[in-house]
Structure 1
């Protein structure tokens, strides 16, 4: 059907009245779906899980994370020195001795984050605790020292703070700190999969109570407070095709004469390049309206969704009160409306669709209600699968909570691609898939660590061996103690016997060396 003929249909349909449809309605043929669904640009079939990790986490995004994390660590260290707030026990001093972070360390960091989703503990320090033998997890101490990992988590960055407009600027963007990972994820999601005809659009919530303009309250969600994402997914698998963070009505205003739901649906479909290809979109009553359904059909896109009673509807459907397991249909051109009550104690549910006809299945339920129940839950499926192996740990900065959640969603998309591109008799579970990726990244990181691959400061002092004093004995640290205040240390330099803190060792000039 051409665009001119579609426009003509709706010009006539807008003037024509709604008329009641009695079941069974004659089945009308559907337009052919343009794209062939399936994976593309894949590694060889039955490849190892790590190959699919690198589809999502390309070397470019890993290098960007490494570069910006090192930049922020240097900026933070310089600021604390300038303000004279750098404590002797600060982890930032380790950055001077151990040197800058590397791409391999970032891979090890991601492996650690993913493994924390599999092995849950109350706090980060518990992963390195040796207090109780039954609770030891030596894998984590084999990857990083606790201080090094917490320093990396603190300095983790995706943008240069100096080039990012701050809150008092007219160009301020509350999502700027995690925008690079959003853009990268949306780019790679579309690169490797052409979705099936059925698509699902809904909102998702990343749970956090951070004090930011982006925080939303959705009582129907388990977290209730958090950062909201608008998501377009493949209905059958939950594979994310495109998503957008909602920044609040101040930074994402609604265009005039348009509902927010309509604006979001068109923005997602246009960004994903899926308009005009006769995809079938499913959405709930927050998004659905007669005007949205009409506009999508003129753009060669089907829609099926529930619709609220207080929105523009034919009087026959708005006032319908069918008995249990009965339905009422009304049609105007390609638009079909339905009012259906499933059980005596249930409310009447109203649907609108440009894809279905007024027919019932064997259980006397409308076909569009069955189709809606099967295909609407794509976003909820993605949330459920992502939440199973996500740590959901609180962070001091909101954007890190969002970025880590996106890392987990990228890993989930990688698993869906793996299942598409792997023979059924060779597929492994999602848990085993994540473990294989963790092992591959951890082995690479440990090999670099054993080789001493961390970029150490060339001007740093030779390593000094420390010895712990017996009992409760302490000595003054020769590095950070001053005339005005003593800093006691339980360790001493093995060569000169002077008290030295572990974090001060790189500044200690042993008398024997002099």
Structure 2
């Protein structure tokens, strides 16, 4: 089974997935014998969305102009930060879409992040901390965290509410970014970069879904039924 899986990965990498299974590995019933094992994610995971190109009829097909495919089905993915392994995914069907998890930290962008979500994730049964950028139009954000006038580049403002930490960081004059964390405490700043540790954590853990997306676009495992007849 390991040899077969290795051959399938190799065929995707070499763009030779048009070959039949018989040509790849002449052994009967292997497909029926394959059983997936559950990957155990590390302490840091990333949640993000991927657009699978699709132009057929579908009630939840979306149009996202800044994506390569533009039309398709949005998939919400959870990927392990260290291995980039995708261990959970579901199609986005609207605001009623639900996601789950437990005892880990989730990194997310401002499409997901909100004060309410941070509180909900901390509570049972999820028990999750989170780090994420947050949009400036959220009503919970104090006006002082939005102001950029007379702020020096590289400066940070912190706001605290129970387990939540909100940081307003000014990367350059008259511009700031906001990040929310339930993982960090205090006003910790990296001695090396001068950035708040919340930003350091976000930058180190945000890219696993993007890496998976890039890998998926470069490699295809698609096979027609006629290729898989042994």
TM-score of the two chains, using structure 2 as the length reference: 0.78
Distance in 1 (alpha carbons) for counterparts of 2:12 and 2:211: 22
The alpha-carbon deviation at position 210 of structure 1 amounts to 2.2
Q: Which residue of 1 aligns with 2:38?
A: 192
**1:285 aligns to 2:110 (yes or no):** yes
Q: Which residue of 1 aligns with 2:80?
A: 234
- Name which of 200, 207, 212 aligns with 1:382: 212
- Name which of 125, 131, 142 aligns with 1:314: 142
The alpha-carbon deviation at position 323 of structure 1 amounts to 2.7
The alpha-carbon deviation at position 314 of structure 1 amounts to 2.2
- Name which of 333, 347, 351 aligns with 2:162: 333
String of CA shifts for 1:393-418, please: whole Å, max 9, x gaps.
xxxxxxxxxxx4xx8xxxxxxxxxxx
Q: Which residue of 2 aligns with 1:372?
A: 202
Q: Is the 8 A contact 1:339 1:351 kept in 2?
A: yes
Count of aligned pairs? 210
Distance in 2 (alpha carbons) for counterparts of 1:327 and 1:204: 32
Alignment of 1:300-311 (within 5 A): 300-311=127-138
Distance 1:330 1:225, change over 3 A: same
Aligned residue for 2:199, secondary structure, equals helix
Distance in 1 (alpha carbons) for counterparts of 2:115 and 2:12: 46
Alignment of 1:359-438 (within 5 A): 359-361=188-190, 362-390=192-220, 404=222
Distance 1:241 1:297, change over 3 A: same
String of CA shifts for 1:41-67, please: whole Å, max 9, x gaps.
xxxxxxx8427x39xxxxxxxxxxxxx
**1:50 aligns to 2:14 (yes or no):** no
Which runs of 5 or more structure 1 residues have no equivalent in the other structure? Answer: 1-47, 55-109, 128-138, 145-186, 256-263, 392-403, 408-441, 449-514
Distance in 2 (alpha carbons) for counterparts of 1:117 and 1:210: 27
Q: Is the 8 A contact 2:156 2:169 kept in 1?
A: yes
Q: Is the 8 A contact 2:15 2:220 kept in 1?
A: no
The alpha-carbon deviation at position 359 of structure 1 amounts to 1.2
Alignment of 1:157-236 (within 5 A): 188=36, 191-236=37-82
Aligned residue for 1:310, secondary structure, equals coil
TM-score of the two chains, using structure 1 as the length reference: 0.37
The structure whose residues are more often strand, as a share, is 2
Distance 1:343 1:49, change over 3 A: farther
The alpha-carbon deviation at position 211 of structure 1 amounts to 3.2
The alpha-carbon deviation at position 342 of structure 1 amounts to 1.8
String of CA shifts for 1:147-169, please: whole Å, max 9, x gaps.
xxxxxxxxxxxxxxxxxxxxxxx
Aligned residue for 1:193, secondary structure, equals coil
- Name which of 245, 249, 258 aligns with 2:91: 245
Which runs of 5 or more structure 2 residues have no equivalent in the other structure? Answer: 25-34
Q: Is the 8 A contact 1:118 1:390 kept in 2?
A: no
Structure label with greater radius of gyration: 1
The alpha-carbon deviation at position 291 of structure 1 amounts to 0.9
Q: Which residue of 2 aligns with 1:268?
A: 99
The alpha-carbon deviation at position 234 of structure 1 amounts to 0.8
The alpha-carbon deviation at position 268 of structure 1 amounts to 2.3
String of CA shifts for 1:255-307, please: whole Å, max 9, x gaps.
5xxxxxxxx5xx322xxxx32x2x11111101101111112122321111010
Distance in 2 (alpha carbons) for counterparts of 1:342 and 1:303: 22
